Amino acid sequence: MTDLWRLPAADLAALIKSKQVSAHEAATSALARLEAVNPKINAVIDHRPEEVLAQADRTDAALARGEDPGPLAGVPVTIKVNVDQTGFATTNGLKLQKDVIANANNPVVENLVKAGAVLLGRTNTPAVSYRWFTSNLVHGDTKNPRDPSITPGGSSGGAGSATAAGIGHIGHGTDIAGSVRYPAYACGIHGLRPTVGRIPAFNAALPERPIGPQISAVSGPLARTVKDLRLALAAMSARDVRDPWWMPVPLEGPPLPKRVALCVNPDGLNPVPEVQTALRDAAKRLERAGWIVEELKDTPPMQEAAQLQTRLWLGDGYEAQLALAEKEGDPGALACLRGNRAKVHPFDLSQTLTRRATLTREWLMFLEQHPVLLLPVSGELPFPDQLDRKDEASFQRVWHAQLTQIAIPFFGLPGLTISTGLVGRVPVGVQLVSQRFREDLCLAAGEAIEAGGTPPSPIDPVS
């Protein structure tokens, strides 16, 4: 069984638990795949084969003793380079942090280890995880395995690229403005942004995060099947006392009718025809699966929420962030900060949080009536790579298209990207949003959409 790397995580874990294959064999297969394709895409920027095999051997030893190694027994997963992993640098795409070596795992990493996962490698991110493109001065550019001329997404572009190419069965990502959902969209896989407080997080190797990221940034999984997203979410979301925002909320909420609200053009996004077609195709798949789909003309405000989320994300400590980017010299980070200066500076935290309460209340009341919302991931198909650095018009085009990705974190809500197919060789997909801590509703609708098409499978990188 030399192609174990092709299997869904759930299937591989079952084979390892039943001792039909060993964790060592799975790790060997994953490492061979990494070595074969990573040079073409630069998705994984650090890995240690001997440590990977040692982790797998510990899983096999636990099974030999009759112990249960966990739901992800022996499954190779990747970790984004902006979270702590013991013994590795938490660079977050920065030369300035190449010597910031973690002495302890971030809670999400620790939870994956406790669930039996094998940590395969560290995945790339843009400098400071600012962009929807993945390049930096310390690790280089990550390519999209489906088409190197388009972005692999960002900031979890390494995770998206690796997972699409069969490097690991689950990719860890983080999301404050689309950084899980957009790489999944751009690489043609699935990606879940959970509710704030669902998955614990803390980087002991770095200073405490400002309040904006604390109340809107999350870790989440990328995978090739919805079933694997479920498995990863359950593993990642275990309690860790180090995160004061973590909430002990069940993964499954009370049953609700199978109803979805479709909004093709939320708050003036004006998506391109290919995105509209993908949304209507997803709606038809849901209807064939027994869901009732109601089309809405609009949602509660998103444009204002996106502007305020940008302010909350980049405005708190703006001058210090700009100074860091200037010292690093990263052109993408500088373009992000300089291009948004008028939106975020000067920064008024009290005013921003006060308005956040009002807008969030409006959204929570809306979702009480429409528990699952189907809407675009982006207003466009995945962008040409590095489009945001081309000129001012292109920069503004990128930020406008990402409206829904930026707005949803402002409310702390879960969002799920489901890949629905290809336009030529360019991926397209849709986004599902639900009430707080109702990832289960997003995943249920996502499974129906996935089942109505062809689920993503690992691909060989295209030249």
List the catalytic residues: 80, 155, 179
Q: Which of 354, 276, 277 is nearest to 308 (CA)?
A: 354
- CA Rg value for the chain: 20
Q: CA 303 to CA 316: how far, in whole Å?
A: 20
Sign of CA dihedral 85, 88, 91, 92: negative
Sign of CA dihedral 205, 27, 160, 191: negative
Query: Long-range contacts made by residues 316-320, C-beta under 8 angstroms, separation at least 24?
Result: 316/210, 316/211, 316/212, 316/347, 316/349, 317/210, 318/344, 318/345, 318/347, 319/345
**Do the strands 44-46 and 118-123 form a parallel or antiparallel pair, or are they unpaired?**
antiparallel
Q: CA 244 to CA 212: how far, in whole Å?
A: 15
Question: Beta-carbon neighbour count of residue 394 at 10 Å?
Answer: 15
CA 79 to chain centre: 11
Give yes or no for a contact between 198 and 175, defined as CB atoms under 8 angstroms apart: no
Note the residue count of the chain. 463
Q: How far is CA 223 from CA 8, 14, 187, 391, in A?
A: 8, 17, 11, 33
Q: CA 152 to CA 159: how far, in whole Å?
A: 9
Return the amino acid letter for 368: E
Q: CA 332 to CA 67: how far, in whole Å?
A: 48
Q: CA 76 to CA 119: how far, in whole Å?
A: 6
Q: Which of 389, 400, 174 is nearest to 267 (CA)?
A: 400
Report the SS3 class of residue 286. Answer: helix
DSSP conformation class of 217: -
Question: Beta-carbon neighbour count of residue 411 at 10 Å?
Answer: 23
Q: CA 432 to CA 146: how far, in whole Å?
A: 23
362: number of CA atoms within 13 Å, CB side? 12
